[in-house]
Amino acid sequence: MEALMIGVSGMRGTVGGTLTPPVVGQMAAAFALWLQSSPRPDPSRPPRIVFGRDSRPSGHWVRDAALSALVASGAEVIDLDVVTTPGVAMMVKHLQADGAMIATASHNPIQWNGLKMLNHQAVALPPEEAERVKQLFNENQPGFVRVGQLIPPQRNSETHALHNKRVLDHVDVLGISTKRFKVVLDSVNGAGCVATATLLSKLGCQLVHLNGTPDGQFQHEPEPTEANLTGLADEVRRQKAAVGFAQDPDADRLAVVDENGTYIGEEYTLALCAKWILSKRPGVACANLSTSRMLDDIAAANGSKVVRTPVGEANVVQAMMKHNAVIGGEGNGGVIDTRIVPGRDSLVAIGYILNLMAATGKTISQLVTEIPRYQIIKTKFECRREDANRAVEAVKKEFASEKIDTQDGIRIDWPTAWVHARPSNTEPIMRIIAEAPDRPTAERKIAAVQAVVGRALK
């Protein structure tokens, strides 16, 4: 299904289909116009925008089309080239920028690309501001300037080094280095290749790097799910490695394979990091409604509490700032420590998991057995947003007598299980997720909701 998706996470489309140079330029011009009229730390100067991209082959022209429109709009543009999405977020504050654009389609296949937008706080735009940018995009009346107001774009190559330094400042480098962990890393030829290899080197790890060329030629489907990581699992077993890590193309998500070559699931990425951080710094942890209740168990064991939010890293980050949270993230493998980057960051996750292994002397499989186990089932199917919204309303009506949360779609809670049904913010799909102590219970709960959805979409 080809579609141009525009929402709080920015814009995504199919390259040469719904995403073309005029469309990219139109969105970049709308973003620049929005920045011009928005409150900024120094409104007397032109908006300063940092721009980064992942390694997709289409990234060259997406970057060029966006930069042309930003410069033509009178913005001061700093081009970071191929860097991770968390790296761009970090550079917003480091360079005192007013916002950022990132050419990425995250975990989507190679035929997709898009633009992600960040504000001066280095987080995705709040819904009302994202809607204003969308309105400006639809109006298509750019604020291009005369030649005297044009500012040549600049290049900056500091991102990888600074990102590594900030992660290293918050882990026990010596403690990890003495372990000489053998690590198999699958960077899916994405934006995380260079920075992550450098980080693991500085942590004294023996690195076996799969798909480590940042050319965007994905050797398997790029979403870090079990079905897509059989090669990583095989290599961990062959190498007798301590752990396997898998990144998505823009390196904001991380999946983990244990020392036996077993994919433990993206939900454990945040759980393991929280197990380490909350043991040292008890406090508030934030996660979205679709994230496993493992986090609640870990928080309770460490004198901490969990605050739940709608899906979307911007919602989690805002809650973290409001509650001064020490750790946060999402069950898709995204871990957030706002001291380093106000967004999901696979490098942070790698550092904290290695720190947990080094400090406890335990393997990944041993650490996993210490965490209460649940079975989580994640399903998705193609669905227009208006159809997904109609399905959510049907579910609300059907389960009105149960405990429900309507912050984001609908989450239904029972004493030992929950189901969350919602339309995606970034793709023309609907997601239905269920969690329970055992798989049969989770399957029954998700089937009950799917039946309602199916009737609503007939």
Q: Which residues are catalytic?
A: 106
Number of C-beta neighbours around residue 29 at 10 A: 24
Which helix or strand (DSSP H or E) is residue 432 part of? strand 429-436
**Coil, strand or helix: which one is 230?**
helix
* Cα-based angle 363, 367, 373 (whole degrees, multiple of 5): 140
Which helix or strand (DSSP H or E) is residue 399 part of? none
Q: Which two tokens stand for residue 407?
A: 């912050």
**Coil, strand or helix: which one is 348?**
helix
Question: Which one, of 332, 334, 333, 331, lies nearest residue 344 by Cα?
Answer: 334
Taking the C-alpha atoms of residue 105 and residue 99, their distance in angstroms, rounded to an integer, is 18
* Cα-based angle 321, 327, 208 (whole degrees, multiple of 5): 130
Helices and strands counted in the chain (H then E): 15, 20
| Dihedrals phi, psi of 63, to nearest 5 degrees | -60, -45
Strands ordered across the beta sheet of 182-186: 206-210, 182-186, 243-247, 254-257
Taking the C-alpha atoms of residue 222 and residue 247, their distance in angstroms, rounded to an integer, is 8
Q: Which residues contact 209 (CB under 8 A, 6 or more apart)?
A: 185, 187, 193, 197
Cite the DSSP H helix spans in 101-187.
127-139, 159-168, 173-177
DSSP-assigned states of every residue in 74-90:
T-EEEEEEE--HHHHHH
CB 251 within 8 A of CB 102: no
Strand partners, 186: 210, 246
CB 141 within 8 A of CB 26: no
Question: Which one, of 87, 60, 95, 85, lies nearest residue 9 by Cα?
Answer: 85
Residue 223 burial (C-beta neighbours within 10 Å; 0-12, 13-18, 19+): buried
CB 246 within 8 A of CB 229: yes
